């Protein structure tokens, strides 16, 4: 089957009628149906599917074992996200198996397709939860206590999905079996459009993290409270948005985004008592990222003080710069006839695993350059070029 026809099979799952695009979050009903769909597709292909202790699905072609070649991605999305970020890597892996089979190819090493759980952190706030848990990059007790916007804990969500929260955490055995991980992904940017090529490899990922800024003032009546008597946390929260833009502007490659603000209690005629603001900040190095965040924090503290509010800042997740295994990257580029290497500002499970195993990524051209939004796209021909590229590099790795 083609990647596009497989994407077509899941095109109606998790559509977000109010925000547009897709909202498919870890262990919600949409993501659970996608997981079921994946299991059925894998079983149809004679692959053996297991779910690991951390909720990641593995579909093995032949018996599991050491030095395994692993490909795959994730099926969850950001709120109102596109159809390709995550699913393209999963459907391309299935299509690559079909393509290898059609040629009569048989792997001479263990091989599996993996679907990582809650990659976007769209429900529980921390990105790459499945791969972080598996690799020990997050303490399971921290992960299990994360809560979604409805107050459901990660522990409750995974229990409802039939997993045992007590067994979650670093999975040394699963990690030890991985010889290398190759994740195919839609490009999130304009690199391949500008170069005029359909497929590239990844070179690096920016350092990035998420911080929660909680401004607390005094909840009160919007009509009855004179302006001079207010301690309105929405004021410093608004200034934080501007401070984020100012801090990242002019700093080479730095990005600072506030895409989520939650006033509590959140009423039109209510001065909020607390406003939570989430900052996503990224830059080429740890030092630059930390400096940008420190500047934003200083601006937030000063704005809070001016309004008689308090501020607490919590680092919810952080990952240092990732440089993908240079030998593997160059080998893949060469096997694909000299495709370009591109850096990315987007985070990936491959970035988490890169600290433990040789890891690489293939990018497929995105004609809009847009991602994390409904306009994210990949043309069917480019998707097929991605499948062909993935099958080529997998065959190289699975034959030696």
Q: What residues between 81 and 120 interact with Mn ion by CB under 5 A?
A: 85-86
Contacts 24+ apart (CB under 8 A), 164-168: 164/53, 165/140, 167/53, 168/53, 168/54, 168/55, 168/133, 168/140, 168/143, 168/144
Least distance to ligand GLV from the beta carbon of 370, Å? 13
Least distance to ligand GLV from the beta carbon of 344, Å? 8
**What SS3 state is found at 344?**
strand
Least distance to Mn ion from the beta carbon of 247, Å? 23
Least distance to Mn ion from the beta carbon of 74, Å? 6
Among 28, 120, 183, 349, which residue sits at the site for ligand GLV (rule: CB under 6 A)? 120
86 vs 198, beta carbon nearer Mn ion: 86
93 vs 206, beta carbon nearer ligand GLV: 206
72 vs 140, beta carbon nearer Mn ion: 72
Which of ligand GLV, Mn ion, none has residue 347 at its interface (CB below 5 to 8 Å by kind)?
ligand GLV
CA dihedral (120, 96, 378, 210) in degrees, to 10, reads 20
Number of residues that bind Mn ion (CB under 5 A): 2
Written as one string, the DSSP assignment of 91-146 is HHHHHHHHHHHHTT---SS-EEEEEESSSS-TTTS-TTHHHHHHHTSS-HHHHHT-
Least distance to ligand GLV from the beta carbon of 347, Å? 4
CB burial of residue 223 (10 Å; 0-12, 13-18, 19+): exposed
Which of ligand GLV, Mn ion, none has residue 395 at its interface (CB below 5 to 8 Å by kind)?
none
Instruction: Determine, following the binding rule CB under 6 A, whether residue 349 of this chain makes contact with ligand GLV.
Output: no
Instruction: Determine, following the binding rule CB under 6 A, whether residue 351 of this chain makes contact with ligand GLV.
Output: no
21 vs 233, beta carbon nearer ligand GLV: 21
Instruction: Determine, following the binding rule CB under 6 A, whether residue 342 of this chain makes contact with ligand GLV.
Output: no
Least distance to ligand GLV from the beta carbon of 180, Å? 21
Residue with tokens 């499948």, as numbered in its chain: 387
Closest residue by Cα to residue 316 from 281, 274, 350, 275: 281
Give, for 16, the enclosing helix (H) or strand (E).
none
Instruction: Determine, following the binding rule CB under 5 A, whether residue 386 of this chain makes contact with Mn ion.
Output: no
* CB-side neighbour CA atoms (13 Å) of 284: 5
* Whether 91 contacts 185, CB under 8 Å: no
Instruction: Determine, following the binding rule CB under 5 A, whether residue 276 of this chain makes contact with Mn ion.
Output: no
Instruction: Determine, following the binding rule CB under 5 A, whether residue 21 of this chain makes contact with Mn ion.
Output: no
HEC string of 49-80 equals: EEECCCCCEEEEECCCCCCEEEEEEECCCCCC
Least distance to Mn ion from the beta carbon of 320, Å? 19
Q: Is the dihedral of CA 365, 343, 68, 127 positive or negative?
A: negative
274 vs 371, beta carbon nearer ligand GLV: 371
Which of ligand GLV, Mn ion, none has residue 127 at its interface (CB below 5 to 8 Å by kind)?
ligand GLV
Closest residue to Mn ion, judged by C-beta, is 85
214 vs 344, beta carbon nearer ligand GLV: 344
Which of Mn ion, ligand GLV, none has residue 86 at its interface (CB below 5 to 8 Å by kind)?
Mn ion
Among 347, 349, 390, 397, which residue sits at the site for ligand GLV (rule: CB under 6 A)? 347
256 vs 299, beta carbon nearer ligand GLV: 256
Chain center to CA of 237: 26
Instruction: Determine, following the binding rule CB under 6 A, whether residue 346 of this chain makes contact with ligand GLV.
Output: yes
DSSP 22: B
Residue numbers of the site for ligand GLV (CB under 6 A)? 120, 127, 346-347
């Amino acid at each position: 089957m083609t990647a596009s026809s497989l994407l077509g099979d899941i095109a109606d799952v998790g559509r977000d009628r109010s925000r547009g695009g897709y909202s498919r979050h870890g262990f919600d009903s949409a993501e659970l149906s996608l997981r079921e769909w994946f299991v059925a597709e894998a079983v149809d292909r004679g692959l053996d599917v297991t779910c690991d202790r951390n909720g990641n699905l593995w579909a093995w072609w032949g018996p599991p074992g050491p030095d395994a070649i692993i490909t795959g991605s994730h099926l969850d999305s950001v709120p109102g996200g596109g159809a390709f970020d995550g699913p393209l890597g999963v459907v391309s892996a299935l299509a690559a198996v079909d393509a290898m089979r059609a040629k009569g190819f048989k792997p001479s090493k263990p091989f599996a397709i993996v679907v990582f759980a809650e990659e976007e952190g769209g429900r529980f706030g921390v990105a790459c939860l499945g791969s972080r848990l598996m690799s020990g990059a997050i303490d399971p007790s921290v992960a299990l206590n994360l809560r979604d916007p409805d107050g459901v804990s990660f522990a409750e969500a995974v229990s409802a999905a039939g997993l045992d929260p007590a067994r979650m955490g670093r999975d040394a055995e699963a990690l030890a079996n991985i010889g290398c991980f190759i994740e195919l992904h839609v490009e999130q940017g304009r690199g391949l459009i500008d170069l005029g090529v359909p497929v590239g490899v990844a070179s690096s990922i920016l350092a990035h993290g998420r911080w929660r800024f909680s401004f607390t003032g005094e909840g009160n009546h919007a009509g009855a409270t004179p302006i001079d008597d207010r301690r309105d946390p929405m004021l410093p929260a608004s200034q934080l948005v501007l401070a984020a833009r100012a801090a990242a502007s002019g700093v080479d490659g730095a990005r600072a985004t506030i895409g989520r603000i939650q006033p509590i209690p959140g009423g039109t005629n209510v001065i909020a008592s607390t406003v939570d603001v989430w900052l996503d900040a990224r830059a080429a190095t740890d030092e630059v990222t930390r400096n940008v965040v420190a500047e934003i924090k200083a601006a937030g503290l000063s704005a809070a003080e001016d309004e008689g509010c308090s501020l607490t800042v919590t680092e919810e997740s952080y990952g240092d710069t990732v440089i993908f295994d240079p030998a593997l990257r160059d080998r893949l580029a060469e096997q694909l006839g000299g495709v370009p290497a591109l850096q990315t500002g987007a985070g990936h499970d491959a970035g988490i695993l890169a600290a433990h195993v040789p890891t690489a990524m293939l990018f497929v051209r995105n004609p809009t350059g847009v991602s994390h939004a409904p306009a994210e796209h990949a043309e069917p021909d480019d998707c097929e070029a991605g499948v062909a590229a993935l099958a080529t590099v997998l065959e190289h790795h699975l034959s030696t």
